[in-house]
Amino acid sequence: MKIKLFKKDLFMKSLLFMILTLSLVSISFADLQLNYIHFDPAIIVGGDEVDIVIQYEAKNLPFENIKIGNDEYSFKVKLLADDDLSSKYVLITDSQGDDVKGNIYTGEKFYKTFRIKVLNNAPATDYQFKLIGEWYKNDIPIDITEELTFVMPVKREGIILDVSSITTNPNQVRSGDKFVELNTFLENVGEKTAKSIKLKLNSVEGIEPSYSNNNELYIGKLSQDETKELTFTINLDDELDSGEYLLNYTIDYMDLDDNKYSIEKSVSLLVKPKPNLIIEKMEGEGLAGDKGKLKVWVKNVGEVSAESVDVRILKQSSQPFEFDFRSSFIGELESGESGIAVFDIDILSQAEIKEHDLKLVIRAKGDSDEGDDNIYSYNRRAKFDVTGVKKNYYVYVGLGLFVLLLGVFSIKNRGKKNGRKN
């Protein structure tokens, strides 16, 4: 009976020891107890240089351990990044640490200090590291290594550069607008100073800088919580659709240790809808010395209405045409709607028989329901064909009268001659 109780007690002790050992895996090496990990500074931000101090000691084990308390054995610890994030944003400047003591004795406390550099652009998150312990016998490494992991929290980024929301001049931006000013502020809301800052506004299809190299600005230095005002000037294509566009920009900068960084971000630009008037078709022809008509069909292919549409015809002083009225009023054209402008043209007799090119100016007001009070002007071209010369019927009438008078004169002469003979 005592033997059974003894076996049961031994089993329970063994089970308890196994549970205890498993519970200490995350805070100890196999043969050594990790007491604490200390960071200096305690609150870490991007750009900080940090001392990682660990304290460990030999555990009292319920079995014989030939390494503990044996002068032939020593133990060395190495620090390594344990995930991709830590490898990217943390530079381990001293991975071996300061060896205070190498030989391990039961109950003694041992310290190691490692030095790392957190990059200024390191995100605020937890970074994972690994401690690798290696045993030596008579200063020769033996095939016994031990590991444990820990995390280091970074509370804030060191340098945080970003632009505030963009304002534009004019306030409402539409396709075809030129020399639009984009005004914003670049700010550093991080904890460290940035220098040699350059911001480049990347081109978007249909949106280009108004001037050469106008999309790059050199800012210089920004300290913590400092801001600087920025202005870009852009042109928008005439056929650019309305909607929200993402303007991408790149910020290149350095920290005070001359490390270089580059980030890409974007801000939104809202392009409002507007009318767009085109010439759908045209008809116009006549004879030199006669009158003709020019008909122009105007269509609104824009996204909103065009109000008070008016078409005006222009000509060069050398062109052989005269007009009683040079403008034709169409009125409002809804999106997709067409209207016709008609011009009466006096064609001078010296007009060449050919197709003549005339300039048209179409003017319209924006859609007031959309809050658009802009006046839009569209330069278009029209063709008018002089197909021949009008027949001059006065020549024929004059020739007929001449023949008639000649006949009368001949008859009178004959009558006189006949009277003399009698």
The pLDDT of residue 278 is above 80 = yes
Q: Would you list the DSSP string of 209-264?
A: ESSTTTTEEEEEEE-TT-EEEEEEEEEE-TTPPPEEEEEEEEEEEE-TT--EEEEE
Q: Report the chain's terminal Cα–Cα distance, integer Å.
A: 192
Q: Report, as an integer, the average pLDDT of 4-31.
A: 42
Burial class (CB in 10 A: 0-12, 13-18, 19+), 300: buried
Instruction: Give dist(CA 347, CA 323) in Å, integer.
Output: 9
Task: Enter the tokens of residue 170.
Answer: 């004019």
Task: Enter the tokens of residue 362.
Answer: 């179409």
Task: Enter the tokens of residue 334.
Answer: 């809804």
Length in residues, the chain: 422
User: Partners of 281 in the beta sheet?
Assistant: 297
Among 184-193, 195-204, 336-345, 383-392, where is mean pLDDT lowest? 383-392
Q: Which amino acid is at 285?
A: E
Fold of domain 277-389: Immunoglobulin-like (2.60.40)
In this predicted structure, what is the pLDDT of residue 390?
A: 74
User: Partners of 384 in the beta sheet?
Assistant: 356
Q: Given phi > 0 = left and psi -120 to 50 = alpha, else beta, which region is 141?
A: beta
Homologous superfamily in CATH for domain 24-156: C2 domain (2.60.40.150)
The pLDDT of residue 394 is above 60 = no
CATH class of 161-272: mainly beta
Q: Which amino acid is at 155?
A: K
* pLDDT, tens only, 57-116: 877 654 556 777 778 888 888 899 999 999 999 999 988 876 545 567 777 788 889 999
Q: Report, as an integer, the average pLDDT of 181-189.
A: 93
In this predicted structure, what is the pLDDT of residue 17?
A: 35
In this predicted structure, what is the pLDDT of residue 13?
A: 40
In this predicted structure, what is the pLDDT of residue 75?
A: 81
Q: pTM (2 decimals)? A: 0.64
% residues pLDDT > 90 (the chain): 43
How much is the mean pLDDT over the chain? 83
41 three-class SS = coil
In this predicted structure, what is the pLDDT of residue 56?
A: 82
Domain boundaries, the chain: 24-156, 161-272, 277-389
The pLDDT of residue 12 is above 70 = no
Q: Report, as an integer, the average pLDDT of 310-337.
A: 90
Among 7-11, 46-50, 128-132, 145-149, where is mean pLDDT lowest? 7-11
Q: Report, as an integer, the average pLDDT of 184-205.
A: 91
CA within 13 Å, CB half, 412: 6
In this predicted structure, what is the pLDDT of residue 88?
A: 93
Query: Which one has a higher pLDDT value, 198 or 121?
Result: 198
The pLDDT of residue 356 is above 70 = yes
In this predicted structure, what is the pLDDT of residue 25?
A: 37
Two domains, one topology: 161-272 and 277-389: yes
The pLDDT of residue 134 is above 90 = no
In this predicted structure, what is the pLDDT of residue 103?
A: 67
Instruction: Give residue 236's pLDDT band: very low, low, confident or very high (50, 70, 90).
Output: very high
In this predicted structure, what is the pLDDT of residue 227?
A: 93
Q: Report, as an integer, the average pLDDT of 224-249.
A: 92
Query: Which one has a higher pLDDT value, 405 or 355?
Result: 355
Among 101-105, 127-131, 172-176, 364-368, where is mean pLDDT lowest? 101-105
* pLDDT, tens only, 285-307: 889 888 889 999 999 999 999 99
Q: Report, as an integer, the average pLDDT of 248-274.
A: 91
Task: Enter the tokens of residue 33.
Answer: 């107890």
Say what the alpha-carbon torsion angle 255, 261, 262, 267 is, to the nearest 10 degrees: -40
